[in-house]
């Protein structure tokens, strides 16, 4: 017994509560002391103290020493389900029915205070304690297992990444809620479905998960696309690890992934912003350098045109001189006149005179164009030294629309739907430039559509208050914009217009202006379906910019 | 005779401005930089100084503010390739009456300068 005791992992100290009889002491304590290990007794003589002492978690055993059944059941009832084992010591002369009643009251065992009870009691007590301690250990272990299960389940469910576990055949065995959300499915219904439903895979191009399953390849932070029914493919970042069994074979895979759509979009935006900023700097530098030589080329061309006028005036007199001289018969004069006529023919004087003027005029036109490009460039990177002021955006839109409308040669239906707007703190001139640009573009697109047989010709302007800001939407029935053009439409120098018809700076300048207002501009269009440009301007640009990531 | 001094370190600009103003009947003086300009002015005041902004040694704005200080009667005109970086206030403080950006429009330029000189 003793050796058994010491092999137990439980604490060596044994705690026993003894509910003692009021009468003279018997051999109980001495007998229990014989258990072998160190024993600590809590001795009680009344019901309350006994119930209280026995409620301690550390108590290994309660001994009811010759107590009435009513008292036993009262103590055990107070202790409830978590009661430690108890042994009742029955009076020497008590009837057999007392034992039965004690068991009914809930004691674990009974010992009669008979001749050898001092020998029996420690054995019985020890057996109860051993069982109790084993049971307690198991309960603790069970609780720990349950806790661990909940713990890992919590982790799996609460991680912000989608998590999928698949078996060797690629069937999903576990999906967390983020996986469900990302893949547009109920995570519980996903189990037993094939991973290939979302991660398209073929023999030639196996999906990353398939590669992990088939070749044991690990991926970390790889990028791929997933297929969702009825939606565009979604870009994700994924890590894939094979699940290995003890002999190193793959019996499944774990995939952790995240939807990258938003990040990709942000990246695109940042890229665009960076591009704008660097182009702006470049533009400022280039414009300055170009303006110096352009200054005198431009001025000289105008002077040359004036010089030509003066030359013409002079040559007119020369012409009449020649005419008069031709009538005079003088050999010396005749030889000079002959040389003059010969030279005039050789250099093709009439053409030269005419073409000189043409060349100058064309150069003037070219120089004028460069001047405009440089001015647009300057506007583009212009920081704007004008003060912000409160303006009625509807009015900005309307005056601009009226100016553009008078310029329209074809009859275009102009629909206006102005919402009630609060005043906006902005740079009104700059905003008008943006609206002008959008309206002119809309008109030009409609012109192009009309030329290729379209019958519709309408521009619709809508303003409204939206998301703590103001929205201005310009929709046209023009030729629309292809997907590839849409990607580059806000890029500086990108133009679909004929050479010379546009500098390709209009929309990028507009984009930069809207950005300076803390807003954004988007385009929605399909080829042949017209286009809608939407500008959003925040009422509080500071708040809007601090919210932006 | 009205005397006009053109200051620019870019010979092309000086030459083309001189061409543009040739028929105005003014005496055109030219300087290739601020120092050169101040030396010419010390030799005799002029009615108008047209100066470039970006020049080695001293900006046109600094030159013109010196001109304004020493010859308050002189009309100061600044000419620049990049109009943005100058605030109205700075221009006013330096006594700049008008600013012309390169490339200029010949007709406009002549009209502006005529008005400034006749006032």
Q: Which residues of chain A have pLDDT under 70?
A: 1-11, 269-270, 272-277, 279-281, 376-387, 406-407, 409-410, 492-493, 497-505, 544-549
Give the right CATH number for B3-118 from 1.20.950.20, 3.40.50.2300, 3.40.640.10, 2.120.10.30: 3.40.50.2300
Helices marked H in A168-260: 177-182, 187-190, 208-215
ipTM over 0.85: no
Helices marked H in A19-176: 28-33, 47-54, 69-79, 96-105, 117-158
Q: Which of B17, B19, B103 sits opposite A291 (nearest CB)?
A: B103
Helices marked H in A382-505: 393-407, 428-451, 483-488
Q: Which of A295, A382, A385 sits opposite B103 (nearest CB)?
A: A295
Give yes or no for a cis peptide into A109 (omega within 30° of 0).
no
> Tens digits of per-residue pLDDT, A236-287?
999 999 998 888 888 899 999 998 888 877 777 667 666 666 766 677 777 7
Q: Kindly state whether A522 is in contact with chain B, defined as any CB-CB distance less than 8 angstroms.
A: no
Phi, psi angle pair for A140, to nearest 5°:
-65, -45
Do the Cβ atoms of A299 and B101 come within 8 Å?
Answer: no
CB-neighbour burial class of residue A283 (10 A; exposed 0-12, middle 13-18, buried 19+): buried
- What residues does each domain of chain B span? 3-118
Cα nearest neighbour of A302 on chain B: B106
CA distance A51 to A61: 12
In what helix (H) or strand (E) does residue B96 lie, and over which residues does it extend? Answer: strand B96-101
Smallest CA-to-CA distance from A437 within A483, A479, A472 is with A472
Kindly list the residues from chain A whose CB atom is less than 8 angstroms away from the CB atom of residue B54. 288
Q: Kindly state whether A147 is in contact with chain B, defined as any CB-CB distance less than 8 angstroms.
A: no
To the nearest whole Å, the CA of B81 is away from the closest chain A CA by 5
Q: Kindly state whether A35 is in contact with chain B, defined as any CB-CB distance less than 8 angstroms.
A: no
Phi, psi angle pair for A164, to nearest 5°:
-130, 135
Q: Which of A288, A298, A300 sits opposite B82 (nearest CB)?
A: A288
Kindly list the residues from chain B whose CB atom is less than 8 angstroms away from the CB atom of residue A379. none
pTM: 0.46
CA distance A107 to A100: 10
Please report the domains of chain A, with CATH numbers, ordered by start residue.
Answer: 2-154 (3.40.50.280), 159-259 (3.30.450.20), 264-381 (no CATH), 389-547 (3.30.565.10)
Residues 6 or more apart in contact with residue A173 via CB below 8 angstroms = A165, A166, A167, A191, A192, A252
Structure tokens at A12: 């060596």
The confidence score (pLDDT) of residue B90 equals 84
Smallest CA-to-CA distance from A429 within A405, A463, A409, A399 is with A399
Q: Kindly state whether A284 is in contact with chain B, defined as any CB-CB distance less than 8 angstroms.
A: yes
CA distance A421 to A393: 7
Three-class SS of residue A356? helix
CA distance A458 to A439: 11
Q: Which residues of chain B have pLDDT under 70?
A: 82-86
The confidence score (pLDDT) of residue A6 equals 40
Paired strand residues for A124: none
Residues 6 or more apart in contact with residue A382 via CB below 8 angstroms = B84
To the nearest whole Å, the CA of A201 is away from the closest chain B CA by 58
Give the largest Cα separation in chain A, rounded.
Answer: 179
> For a pLDDT cut of 70, what percent of chain B falls above it?
96
CA distance A368 to A343: 35
Do the Cβ atoms of A300 and B19 come within 8 Å?
Answer: yes
Q: Which residue has the tokens 């059944």?
A: A69
Kindly list the residues from chain A whose CB atom is less than 8 angstroms away from the CB atom of residue B88. 385
Q: Which of B13, B87, B101 sits opposite A385 (nearest CB)?
A: B87
Q: Which residue has the tokens 């349950």?
A: A146
Q: β-strands B3-7, B48-52: how paired?
A: parallel
Give rounded-to-5 percent helix, strand, coil for chain A: 50, 20, 30
Q: Which residue has the tokens 């389900």?
A: A81
To the nearest whole Å, the CA of A280 is away from the closest chain B CA by 13
CA distance A28 to A477: 105
Q: Kindly state whether A48 is in contact with chain B, defined as any CB-CB distance less than 8 angstroms.
A: no
Cα nearest neighbour of A370 on chain B: B103
The confidence score (pLDDT) of residue A11 equals 62
Structure tokens at A304: 């040359």
CA A290, A293, A295 angle in degrees (round to 5)?
95
Structure tokens at A102: 């004690």
Q: β-strands A219-226, A234-244: how paired?
A: antiparallel
The confidence score (pLDDT) of residue A268 equals 73
Listed in order, strand segments (DSSP E) in A477-530 are: 520-525
Kindly list the residues from chain A whose CB atom is less than 8 angstroms away from the CB atom of residue B102. 291-292, 294-295
Kindly list the residues from chain B whose CB atom is less than 8 angstroms away from the CB atom of residue A300. 16, 19
Structure tokens at A392: 């009625």
Q: Kindly state whether A382 is in contact with chain B, defined as any CB-CB distance less than 8 angstroms.
A: yes
Do the Cβ atoms of A303 and B10 come within 8 Å?
Answer: no
The confidence score (pLDDT) of residue A424 equals 92
Kindly list the residues from chain A whose CB atom is less than 8 angstroms away from the CB atom of residue B91. none
């Amino acid at each position: 017994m003793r050796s058994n005791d010491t092999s137990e992992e439980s604490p060596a100290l044994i705690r026993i509560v003894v509910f003692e009889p009021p009468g003279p002491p018997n051999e109980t304590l001495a007998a229990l002391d014989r258990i072998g290990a160190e024993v600590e007794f809590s001795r009680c003589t009344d019901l309350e103290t006994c119930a209280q002492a026995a409620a301690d978690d550390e108590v290994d055993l309660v001994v009811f020493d010759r107590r009435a059944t009513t008292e036993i059941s009262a103590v055990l009832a107070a202790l409830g389900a978590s009661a430690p084992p108890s042994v009742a010591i029955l009076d020497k002369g008590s009837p057999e029915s007392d034992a039965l009643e004690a068991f009914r009251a809930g004691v674990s065992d009974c010992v009669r205070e008979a001749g050898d009870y001092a020998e029996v009691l420690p054995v019985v007590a020890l057996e109860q304690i051993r069982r109790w301690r084993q049971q307690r250990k198991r309960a603790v272990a069970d609780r720990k297992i349950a806790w661990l299960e909940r713990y890992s389940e919590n982790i799996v469910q609460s991680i912000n990444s989608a998590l999928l576990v698949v078996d060797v055949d690629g069937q999903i065995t576990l999906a967390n809620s983020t996986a469900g959300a990302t893949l547009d499915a109920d995570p519980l219904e996903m189990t037993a479905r094939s991973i290939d439903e979302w991660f398209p895979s073929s023999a030639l191009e196996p999906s990353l998960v398939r590669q992990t399953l088939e070749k044991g390849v690990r991926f970390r932070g790889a990028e791929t696309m997933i297929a969702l029914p009825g939606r565009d493919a979604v870009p994700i970042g994924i890590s894939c690890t094979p699940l290995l069994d003890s002999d190193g074979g793959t019996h499944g895979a774990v995939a952790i992934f995240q939807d990258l759509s938003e990040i990709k979009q942000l990246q695109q935006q940042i890229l665009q912003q960076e591009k704008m900023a660097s182009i702006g700097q470049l533009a400022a530098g280039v414009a300055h350098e170009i303006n110096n030589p352009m200054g005198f080329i431009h001025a000289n061309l105008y002077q040359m045109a004036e010089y030509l006028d003066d030359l013409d005036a002079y040559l007119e007199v020369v012409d009449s001189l020649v005419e008069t001289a031709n009538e005079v018969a003088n050999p010396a004069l005749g030889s000079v006149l002959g040389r003059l006529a010969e030279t005039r023919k050789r250099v093709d004087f009439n053409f030269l005179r005419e073409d000189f003027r043409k060349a100058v005029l064309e150069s003037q036109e070219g120089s004028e164009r460069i001047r405009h490009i440089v001015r647009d460039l300057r506007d583009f990177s212009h920081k704007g030294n004008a003060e912000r002021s409160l303006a009625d955006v509807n009015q900005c839109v309307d005056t601009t629309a009226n100016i553009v409308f008078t310029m329209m040669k074809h009859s275009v239906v102009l629909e206006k739907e102005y919402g009630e707007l609060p005043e906006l703190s902005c740079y009104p001139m700059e905003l008008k430039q943006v609206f002008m640009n959008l309206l002119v573009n809309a008109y030009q697109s409609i012109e192009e559509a009309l030329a290729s047989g379209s019958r519709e010709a309408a521009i619709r302007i809508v303003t409204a208050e939206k998301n703590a800001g103001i929205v201005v939407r310009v929709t046209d029935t023009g030729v629309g914009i292809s997907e590839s053009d849409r990607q580059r439409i806000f890029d500086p120098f990108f133009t679909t217009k004929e050479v010379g018809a546009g500098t390709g700076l209009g929309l990028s300048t507009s984009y930069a202006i809207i950005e300076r207002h803390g807003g954004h501009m988007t385009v929605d269009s399909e080829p042949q379906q017209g286009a809608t440009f939407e500008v959003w301007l925040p009422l509080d640009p500071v708040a809007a910019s601090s919210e932006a990531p | 005779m009205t005397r006009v001094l053109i200051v620019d370190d870019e010979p092309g600009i000086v030459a083309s401005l001189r061409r543009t103003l040739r028929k105005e009947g003014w005496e055109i003086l030219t300087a290739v930089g601020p120092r050169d300009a101040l030396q010419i002015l010390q030799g005799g005041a002029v009615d108008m100084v047209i100066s470039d902004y970006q020049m080695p040694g001293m900006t046109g704005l600094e030159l013109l503010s010196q001109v304004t200080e020493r010859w308050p009667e002189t009309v100061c005109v600044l000419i620049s390739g990049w109009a943005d970086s100058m605030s109205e206030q700075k221009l006013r403080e330096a006594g700049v009456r008008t600013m012309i950006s390169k490339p200029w429009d010949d007709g406009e330029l002549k009209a502006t300068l005529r008005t400034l000189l006749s006032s």
